[in-house]
Amino acid sequence: MVELRGALIGCGFFAVNQMHAWRDIAGASIVAICDRDPVRLEVVGEQFGIARRYTDAAALFAGESLDFVDIAATAASHRPLVEMAARYRIPAICQKPFAPTLADAKAMVKACTDAGVPLMVHENFRWQSPIQAVRAVLDSGEIGTPFYGRISFRSAYDVFSGQPYLATGKRFIIEDLGIHCLDIARFLLGDVSTITTRTARINPEIAGEDVATMLLDHNSGATSVVDCSYATKLATEPFPQTLVEIDGSDGTIRLEQNYRLTVTGRNGTAVSDVSPPLLPWASRPWHNIQESVVAIQKHWVACLAKGTEPETSGADNLKTFALVEAAYAGAASREPVQLDALLR
């Protein structure tokens, strides 16, 4: 098997997880890194033994022979970087949020489509092993046809200490966390026709919303509630677990705290532990997210090898991105928002 040569653009908070994951994956390796901050560039380069370092993305593309790039920079830089990759005909992974606007995201998808190169968004929550376990139960038919779901992420964890910029943006929880939960809702129950949203800011020290409740009408006929909060103090802090409830025509699925999965269906009730593995470089409680990074990057390598489209392709992620935009529009208007018009 030929090993794919990749480059990482952006050496910030989350990119370190991606670098660890690339070291764990057969068939691909990072041969060069890029960041405008020379200090971060040196820190990551030394930590992972990457000698080829660039402070300018154009110099990286011109100076390296690459099979893919992993873009982990800020959202504002995503479009120029993806379009640069398209010009060089290099497949690209793009971190979420995909872009500052839906128009930018659409332009990025078009650039890669026109260039004939794959584009995947690093939308990794659906790749967490507990979420994959829920999907496997649905696929088995054990609970019949789903008609209701709840995707819930409620916590009082201090995310601002590690990522202080999250406290300064006018958009917070839907854009940063809700996007993942909305994608899980799509992954489990299918695409969405309408969304109704309510938001609140409980923490007076931040600029954006820290609570969001969203009602989704799925094309399948199912209804789901996606609820997110960073203002919910619980006896046992569940961060960063996503809890799931699915009701079907023949049974139910409950993914509860501490990765307890209870399935009641055609064959009775079964309870299992679907805890994610603790990788050697991972740390609790982040290990479920860190494990999912390995899973999605393995998926990318497999898709490049087979020539197939990634599950979270740029084109697919437009539907998740549109849900985020529709959620903010609906929170402002307090009216349901149709998705069709946004995706045209």
Give pLDDT tens digits for 248-258. 999 999 999 99
Give the closest residue to 112 by CA, choosing from 61, 68, 73. Answer: 68
Give residue-wise pLDDT tens across range 252-278.
999 999 999 999 999 999 999 999 999
Q: Is 165 helix (H, G, I), strand (E, B) or coil?
A: helix
Residue 162 binned pLDDT confidence (cut-offs 50, 70, 90): confident
What are the distances in angstroms from CA 251 to CA 220, 221, 285?
Answer: 17, 17, 30
Average pLDDT along the chain: 96
What is the sign of the dihedral through the CA atoms of 319, 325, 328 and 332? negative
Q: What mean pLDDT comes out for the span 199-224?
A: 98
What is the sign of the dihedral through the CA atoms of 6, 7, 11 and 13? negative
How many whole angstroms separate alpha carbon 122 and alpha carbon 106? 16
How many whole angstroms separate alpha carbon 130 and alpha carbon 276? 7
Give residue-wise pLDDT tens across range 41-85.
999 999 999 999 999 999 999 999 999 999 999 899 999 999 999
Alpha carbon distance, N-terminus to C-terminus of the chain: 41
Residue 1 binned pLDDT confidence (cut-offs 50, 70, 90): low
How many whole angstroms separate alpha carbon 124 and alpha carbon 298? 11
Q: What mean pLDDT comes out for the span 147-151?
A: 98
Q: Which long-range contacts (CB under 8 A, 24 or more apart) does 107-114 make?
A: 107/79, 107/83, 108/78, 108/79, 108/82, 108/83, 108/314, 109/314, 109/315, 109/318, 111/82, 111/83, 111/86, 112/82, 112/85, 112/86, 112/314, 113/315, 114/86
> To the nearest 5 percent, what fractions of the chain are helix, strand and coil?
40, 25, 35
Q: Residue 319: what residue type?
A: K
Q: Is it the case that residue 97 has pLDDT exceeding 90?
A: no
Residue 2 binned pLDDT confidence (cut-offs 50, 70, 90): confident
Q: Checking DSSP bridges between strand 251-256 and strand 260-265, what pairing results, if any?
A: antiparallel
Beta bridge partners of 338: 194
Q: What mean pLDDT comes out for the span 294-302?
A: 98
How many whole angstroms separate alpha carbon 258 and alpha carbon 272? 11
Q: Where are the beta strands (DSSP E) in 11-107?
A: 28-34, 52-54, 68-71, 92-95
Looking up tokens 């990482």, which residue turns up?
Answer: 8
Q: Which has more confidence, 162 or 42?
A: 42
How many whole angstroms separate alpha carbon 251 and alpha carbon 110? 42
